[in-house]
Structure 1
Amino acid sequence: MQLLFSVIFAFFILLDPPLISSSRHLTSLVPPTPIVLPYHGGPLLTGDSRSTLRVNLLWYGSFSPAQRSVVTDFFRSFGDRRFRRAPSVSSWWSVVSSYVDKNKTTVAKVIKLGKQVSDADYSMGKSLKRSDMKKLILRAINDNSLPSPSSYGSESVATLYFVLTASDVVVERFCMNSCGFHDSTVTSVNPRISHHSSLSMPYAWVGNPATQCPGLCAWPFAKPEYGPPTPPLLPPNQDIGMDGMMINIATILAGAATNPFNSGYFQGDPSAPLEASTACVGSFGPGSYPGYPGNLQADKRTKASYNVIGANRREYLLPAVWSPLTETCKPPQS
């Protein structure tokens, strides 16, 4: 079952206050229902013996080196002691890594950037189906462009694959009801590495919304297509599409880590669940409420809004994450 990051849900929060954490300021006389994400007993992305999750990237379409560096710096921000002091990418991830499975093992505390492969020639064209994401990843694994899930010598779930599509690539249901999704498939395993003949493999997709739907998938860096026409914030990396992608990559990453096989932490319909970050969608800082992302830091030079710092002192705006410890949505700067 595919797991959707629903943009309809994301922007109808402007009209439906109870979909945000109970910690926000509301004018309603009826208190919102607290969000709780039940655990359904399944595996999480707990990583290997060192609790490391490896993320491999497949770039589909044309991305400039500057655009790629926005994403790669994000994934290189985990585990480096220089970037652990809050507010940082690592401190944001510490909320996600507080989720535990039935064996009391936490979500991987460290993320490492694995291999990257580029499909700049649009090998499957510029109009893709959602099922094509799986085909792209499996093809890259089969031709050894990307490592297989078992190639690290561990049978634990320790690998996640992202397909990132360029702004000129049209993806099925992109901008209609999703900015990205995560799912899983089964791949064969080399018998020399594992006694299992197959392995469940989680993967994800996020698209660049710069020209297709910035008001849906790059908010708050673009004027929203629904709700009050609030002025957009300045993006920290001066690229609305890539900064919007980073919000969605972080959202999908948190959801995949805590609910990789649709049996982890989620609330609601399994076909369109509320997950670690989508449960808090629209919240980026303390004091957030529908249509207002919250109190954020502003870069002194560029005046851009951000809430965490990563590798190379790069600034990002990352979404709030529901904390299983406090059962509230926790923005990075709270």
Structure 2
Amino acid sequence: MRMAFLSKSMLFPLITIIAFSAVPCSNGLGPSPKQPSSLVPSSTQLQYHHGPLLTGPTSINIYLIWYGAFSPSHKLTISDFFASFNHLAKPASISTWWRTTQAYKDTARKPVSATIRLARQVSNTIVVNNLKRADIAALVKNAIAKRVFPFDSNGIYLVLTSSDIAVERFCMGSCGFHNATLVSPNRKAVFAHVGDPSSQCPGLCAWPFAVPLYGPPGPALVAPNSVGIDGMIMNIATVLAGAATNPFKNGYFQGDALAPLEAVTACAGIFGAGAYPGYPGKLMVDPKSKASYNAYGINRRRFLVPAMWDPLSVTCKVVA
């Protein structure tokens, strides 16, 4: 399905957005010998600000807009990542990684939804090569207004942009963001953006699969899929966790509500046990391809997903 881009006159005013940085650094310390390997100590303490979360029993539905040119293989890899949330093949899986969100509960003690489902996806081939963040929100509002997507109070409307699309603040300290926008007087839609960093900023938004732009230097690891797509998957995981646990800026976070540390950004740069600045931690390595990963997906996929702050252990929890 093709979607027409909104004219500038139809765009609503720029709203404040929550952004995250994927600079390869760590807010945690190395694990002590007495701790399980899946837990990395953290000095961060996320606070609950009594706002709504994206809770169950229904799944969190993803409404995906492919903005720009993506190859069929790249689309398939990311689609397999979403399908892996409901596939438990081995202990170290995407579904076990997401299970940490079950410790995030709202005022009624209801946990974040246990499953994520790719509900619908469309391709936008009529593109503008330079987008403001307000344009991302407008794309989502337009899709809902034209009934390309339904309004879903427990959904996340995700815009993925290709490597040739410039987005405001992307690759300038931010690898993606999430926020909520009014679609009617009493309804807000949660939306997010992640871009392909392969040509614009692999050292910022695809580390450790690219030489780091900042911080301690080190060799790049081999990506299990491709540098750009694996960078996108790490950042999609980050914004999904943030959007589910802090959808309206009054959920779980630390610091300023407009620039918070959230479920994953509180554990920046941590992917495995023993992580420290410049070192992502202990990962699995495929003996043939030499690709590094920490989670299994469907169709024999391998993925790398970041650590998530665990409210129960008050640590950064990696896939185990």
* TM-score of the pair, normalised by structure 1: 0.86
Instruction: Using the TM superposition, give the Cα deviation of residue 229 of structure 1 relative to its aligned residue in structure 2, in angstroms.
Output: 2.0
- Asked if the contact 1:22–1:328 (Cα under 8 Å) also holds between the matched residues in 2, the reply is no
Match of 2:162 among 162, 166, 170: 166
Deviations, residues 159-211 of structure 1 (Å, cap 9, x unaligned): 111000000000111111211000001113xxxxxxxx631211000000000
Partner of 2:215: 227
1:13-57 per-residue CA deviation (whole Å, 9 max, x = no partner) reads 3xxxxx5224447xxxxxx9721101000001104xx33111110
Q: What's the counterpart of residue 64 of structure 1? A: 71
Are 2:119 and 1:104 equivalent residues in the alignment? no
Which residue in the other structure is 1:89 paired with? 94
2:319 aligned partner, one-letter code: P
Given the alignment, which residue of 19, 22, 30 partners 1:4? 19
**C-alpha contact 2:42 2:315 (8 A) present in aligned 1:** no
Residue 294 in structure 1 maps to residue 300 in structure 2 = no
Deviations 1:263-292 (A, max 9, x none): 000001111100000000100001111110
1:54 aligns with 2:71: no
Contact 1:84 1:90 (C-alpha < 8 Å) held by counterparts: no
1:204 aligns with 2:192: yes
Asked whether the 8 Å contact 2:103–2:311 carries over to 1, the reply is yes
SS in 1 for 2:243: helix
CA contact (8 A) 2:89 2:296 kept: no
Structure 1 Cα separation of the partners of residues 92 and 98 of structure 2:
11
Bigger mean CA offset, 323-332 vs 220-229:
220-229
2:155 and 2:190 in contact (8 A); partners too: yes
SS of aligned partner of 1:223? coil
Q: CA deviation at 1:114?
A: 0.7
- Per-residue deviation at 1:299? 1.1
* Partners of 2:58 and 2:105 in 1: CA distance: 12
CA drift of 1:121 comes to 2.7
Partner Cα distance (2:66, 2:118) in 1:
14
Q: Give percent identity, aligned residues only.
A: 50
* Distance in 2 of aligned mates of 1:121 and 1:241: 22
TM-score (norm 2): 0.89
Q: Residue 115 of structure 1 aligns with which residue?
A: 120
Q: Contact conserved, 2:29 with 2:276, CA < 8 A, in 1?
A: no
Q: Does 1:311 align with 2:298?
A: yes
Residue 215 of structure 1 corresponds to 203
Rounded Cα–Cα distance in structure 1 between residues aligned with 2:316 and 2:113: 20
Counterpart AA for 1:173: R
Q: Does the CA-based 8 Å contact 1:23-1:328 persist in structure 2?
A: no
What is the distance in 1 between the residues matched to 2:238 and 2:102? Answer: 14
Question: Between Structure 1 and Structure 2, how many residues are aligned?
Answer: 297
Corresponding residue SS for 1:44: coil
Shift of the alpha carbon at 1:84?
5.2
Residue number in structure 2 paired with 1:194: none
Q: What displacement does 1:158 show? A: 1.3
Question: What residue in structure 1 maps to residue 252 of structure 2?
Answer: 265
In 1, Cα distance between equivalents of 2:197 and 2:31: 28
Query: What amino acid is the match of 2:149?
Result: L
Aligned residue for 1:78, secondary structure, equals helix
Task: Spell out structure 1 runs of 4+ moving beyond 4 A.
Answer: none
- The answer to whether structure 1 residue 76 and structure 2 residue 92 are counterparts is no
Give the letter for the 2:74 counterpart.
Answer: Q
In structure 1, how many angstroms separate the alpha carbons of the residues matched to 2:147 and 2:42? 48
